[in-house]
């Protein structure tokens, strides 16, 4: 425990014993709105966590970029300078707006490839996200599934027949469509969104998945994940995600698909500050008109 000696130095005030340290940690966790210390399976590199070549996968890297783009304005408020994330993750204006609006942004690692007993054997196009740690009392602003298209992969995966077809079309670009479905009961597919991909397109694309996320947060038992289906635009023939160049779970860590969601905390402002429930004084003790709107007094 340190204190300021008044000349810009901190001085050890008291060495806390084990129990006091535990209590102090518990208090700070409580302040951060956490019931316990998280125990992630993924371990962070011990040094220089925020450097570019840090070996982290795309999901944490996206939020690290967002974090690094936050700057403090004169007012003391944190604001986003979107250059960095725009460059790397192809972030749209609406994303930047969502980021500014959000109290909480979460990026979810795809667990689709680890699911058992699921009939959709195209695990490559199968996505499932663990939403159990989404804080309660939050409202979804927006959510998107982010996928990376790698042109080199398209060329490598294109078989000879397709190459011949391409030659026949003489410069006609072979566009693709990717469609995202929500997986329902008994593997039924519910249409969510689709987009056209130009054959020369490379980089991150985002599919809006706000609707299923909102649904899963209300009914977690209905979270069977998402299914991606890719088709040739011209013929409608279904092709594999690899042929489109989409990077899957076995690809480069930094280019793996992930979901990002933007939440607004719906707790009253006083609770938001403390991250906990404040006691409400009995109504008979409150005789101020300001408190008549049922807000918790500060």
Partner 1 sequence: RSSRIRRQTPNNNKKRSKDNEEFGGWNPYADARLSRRSCQKKNLYVSFRDLGWQDWIIAPDGYAASYCNGECSFPLNAHMNASNHAIVQTLVHLMNPYRVPKPCCAPIKLSSISVLYFDDNSNVILKKYRNMVVKSCGCH
Please give the residue ranges that form the binding site for partner 1 (CB under 8 A).
2-4, 6, 8, 10, 25, 28, 32-33, 37-44, 46, 49-50, 59-60, 62-64, 66-67, 70, 72, 75-78, 102-109, 129-130, 132-133, 269, 272-273, 275
| Residues 127, 192: Cα–Cα separation, whole Å | 13
User: Measured from the CB of residue 207, what is the shortest distance to partner 1 in angstroms?
Assistant: 18
**Residues with Cβ within 8 Å of residue 248, at least 6 apart in sequence:** 113, 124, 241, 242, 256, 257
User: Measured from the CB of residue 99, what is the shortest distance to partner 1 in angstroms?
Assistant: 9
From 148, 157, 158, select the one nearest 178 (Cα to Cα).
148
Question: Locate tokens 């003391």: which residue?
Answer: 76
| Residues 256, 251: Cα–Cα separation, whole Å | 7
Phi, psi for residue 265 in degrees, rounded to 5: -70, 130
User: Measured from the CB of residue 187, what is the shortest distance to partner 1 in angstroms?
Assistant: 24
Decide whether 14 or 121 has the Cβ nearer to partner 1: 14
Decide whether 9 or 152 has the Cβ nearer to partner 1: 9
Decide whether 46 or 161 has the Cβ nearer to partner 1: 46
Decide whether 66 or 206 has the Cβ nearer to partner 1: 66
Distances (CA, A) of 167 to 170, 173, 233: 5, 10, 17
- Three-state secondary structure call for residue 137: coil
CA-derived radius of gyration, the chain: 24
Do 96 and 82 meet the contact criterion of CB atoms below 8 Å apart? yes
User: Measured from the CB of residue 149, what is the shortest distance to partner 1 in angstroms?
Assistant: 23
User: Measured from the CB of residue 168, what is the shortest distance to partner 1 in angstroms?
Assistant: 46
Decide whether 136 or 185 has the Cβ nearer to partner 1: 136
User: Measured from the CB of residue 151, what is the shortest distance to partner 1 in angstroms?
Assistant: 28
Decide whether 134 or 244 has the Cβ nearer to partner 1: 134
Torsion angle, alpha carbons of 234, 238, 241, 242, to 10? -80
User: Measured from the CB of residue 37, what is the shortest distance to partner 1 in angstroms?
Assistant: 7
Decide whether 105 or 296 has the Cβ nearer to partner 1: 105
Buried b (16+ CB within 10 A) or exposed e, 219-256: eeeebbbbbbbbbbeeeeeebebbbbbbbbbebeebbb
């Amino acid at each position: 425990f340190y204190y300021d000696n008044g000349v810009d130095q901190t001085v050890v005030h008291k060495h806390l014993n084990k129990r006091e340290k535990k209590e102090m940690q518990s208090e700070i966790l409580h302040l951060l709105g956490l019931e316990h210390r998280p125990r992630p399976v993924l371990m962070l590199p011990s040094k220089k966590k925020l450097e570019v070549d840090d070996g982290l996968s795309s999901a944490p890297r996206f939020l690290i970029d967002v974090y690094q783009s936050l700057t403090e304005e004169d007012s003391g408020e944190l604001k986003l300078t979107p250059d960095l994330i725009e460059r790397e993750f192809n972030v749209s204006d609406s994303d930047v707006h969502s980021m500014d609006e959000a109290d909480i942004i979460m990026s979810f690692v795809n667990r689709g490839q680890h699911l058992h007993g699921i009939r959709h054997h195209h695990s490559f196009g199968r996505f499932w996200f663990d939403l159990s740690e989404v804080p309660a009392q939050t409202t979804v602003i927006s959510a998107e599934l982010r996928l990376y298209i790698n042109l080199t992969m398209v060329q490598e995966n294109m078989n000879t027949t397709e190459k011949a077809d391409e030659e026949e079309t003489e410069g006609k670009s072979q566009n693709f469509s990717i469609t995202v479905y929500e997986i329902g009961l008994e593997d039924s597919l519910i249409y969510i969104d689709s987009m056209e991909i130009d054959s020369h397109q490379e980089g991150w694309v985002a599919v809006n998945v706000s609707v299923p996320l909102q649904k899963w947060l209300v009914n977690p038992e209905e979270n069977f994940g998402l299914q991606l289906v890719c088709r040739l635009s011209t013929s409608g023939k279904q092709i594999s995600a690899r042929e489109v160049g989409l990077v899957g779970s076995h690809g480069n860590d930094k280019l793996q698909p992930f979901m990002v969601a933007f939440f607004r905390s719906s707790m009253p402002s006083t609770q938001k500050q403390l991250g906990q429930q404040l006691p409400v004084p009995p109504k008979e003790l409150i005789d101020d008109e300001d408190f008549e709107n049922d807000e918790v007094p500060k």
